[in-house]
Amino acid sequence: MENANFPVRHRKLSLESKENKTEIVICSYEDHILVIATQIGAMGTILHARKEEGMSVEPTFSVSVIFGKRDEPMLIATARRLIDHIRSLSLFSSILDSCSSTVFFHPLLIFSSSFVPSKPLVLSLGLKEHSSETLKEIVAAVIENRLW
């Protein structure tokens, strides 16, 4: 039975360039975000990224390769860029929610991000090459079509 109200939202898109075609799938689960970007028809390297919970004003992130290439810093940088964006949007929406019934901005709510739960990210990159231009295009496309 195909369900039009499936609880997991997903979005699929393609990036065409003269050399390669990149297929991107973005899924929003209740407890994490999944992003798959592939040029090779396989998942490739899989990374996990999450915001570290702490009391520091500045957020810290944990990014690790859980499958595949562990010596490609650009892949880790890509995951970090996306988890930072997920965290930023979570903070912004949390501030909007907290201000909906108040008439003033509470400074602790604005400057502390430790209580804001943002979803961790599972990022799969199956690419033919790991140039910064390609990864920037992928990041831009994912953010433009984000589900968080």
Residues that bind another protein (CB under 8 A): 1-3, 6-8, 10, 12, 14, 21, 23, 25, 27, 36, 38, 40-43, 46, 48, 66-67, 122, 126
Closest CA to 73 of 120, 119, 135: 135
Q: Are 120 and 12 in contact (CB under 8 A)?
A: no
Q: How many CB atoms lie within 10 A of CB 91?
A: 19
CA atoms 39, 130, 61, 13: torsion sign: negative
Q: How far is the CB of 50 from another protein (least distance, A)?
A: 11
Give me the least distance between CB of 126 and another protein, in Å please: 8
Closest CB to another protein among 10 and 106? 10
Closer to another protein at the Cβ: 67 or 105? 67
**Which of residues 24 and 99 has its CB atom nearest to another protein in the complex?**
24
Amino acid identity at 31 = D
Q: How far is the CB of 134 from another protein (least distance, A)?
A: 17
Tokens describing residue 6: 């499936």
CB nearer another protein, residue 65 or residue 91: 65
Distance CA 125, CA 46 (A): 6
Min. distance of Cβ 112 from another protein in angstroms?
A: 29
Answer for the pair 113, 90: CB distance below 8 angstroms, yes or no: no
